[in-house]
Amino acid sequence: MIIVLGSVLIRQGAIGEATKLSLEHVYRSRTEPGCISHSVQHDCENSQRLVFVEEWSDLAALHVHFQVPESRAFVGALTVLATEKPKMAIHQVQQAGP
Amino acid sequence: MIIVLGSVLIRQGAIGEATKLSLEHVYRSRTEPGCISHSVQHDCENSQRLVFVEEWSDLAALHVHFQVPESRAFVGALTVLATEKPKMAIHQVQQAGP
């Protein structure tokens, strides 16, 4: 399994629009092959920061996701609303357990 | 590296107190050996849900963290404020990359 952790700091006045766009992206992504979970949160330390947590079955599914035109359009739109380049880390899970 | 993903649904009227307690736990946890990152977020789909994202150097450090009295007290206090048992998944990460 793959875990994707992302975050982006949104400029003042744009968090409402950024959250709306992010939720649309979340709902769309959940319907894609290999998507196990996809969510967006507001950082409790800074409500202008959006935090994404995603789980994908494998890297191939994730790479297909990156190529979906709506995914690319979303990243572009979010970047316009941000004060920094969105950050993303991709982690390959070896195992899960207690 | 270890990634911990947690979430809990807080009862109506208690999200302020739960967020305050969670942030105290976050700040304390960041000072512990092996803690790479520790954060808490509000789910954009349900602002009563807290989402935790943690990165630890290894399982041993995480298990020490679980035994810290303040960690145990925090989980107990959060559970009292919740409408469900807090959920947590522990993932051992093989590698990170693009």
d(CA A41, CA A74): 16
pLDDT of residue B78: 96
Strand partners, B9: B49
Q: What averages of pLDDT result for each successive group of 10 residues across chain A (98 residues)?
A: 97 98 98 98 97 97 96 96 95 74
| Verdict on whether the full-model pTM lies above 0.80 | yes
Contacts of B90 in chain A (CB under 8 A): 96-98
pLDDT of residue B95: 61
Contact assignment for B96 to A98 by CB distance below 8 Å: no
pLDDT of residue A76: 95
The chain-wide mean pLDDT, for chain A, equals 95
- Chain pair A-B, CB pairs under 8 angstroms: 83
Contact assignment for A19 to B44 by CB distance below 8 Å: yes
Contact assignment for A39 to B51 by CB distance below 8 Å: yes
Give which of A58, A91, A92 to mutate to test B binding, by max B Cβ within 10 Å: A91
Tokens 């105290």, residue? B24
Position B94 confidence tier, pLDDT thresholds 50, 70, 90: confident
Structure tokens at B59: 């399982």
pLDDT mean over B65-83: 96
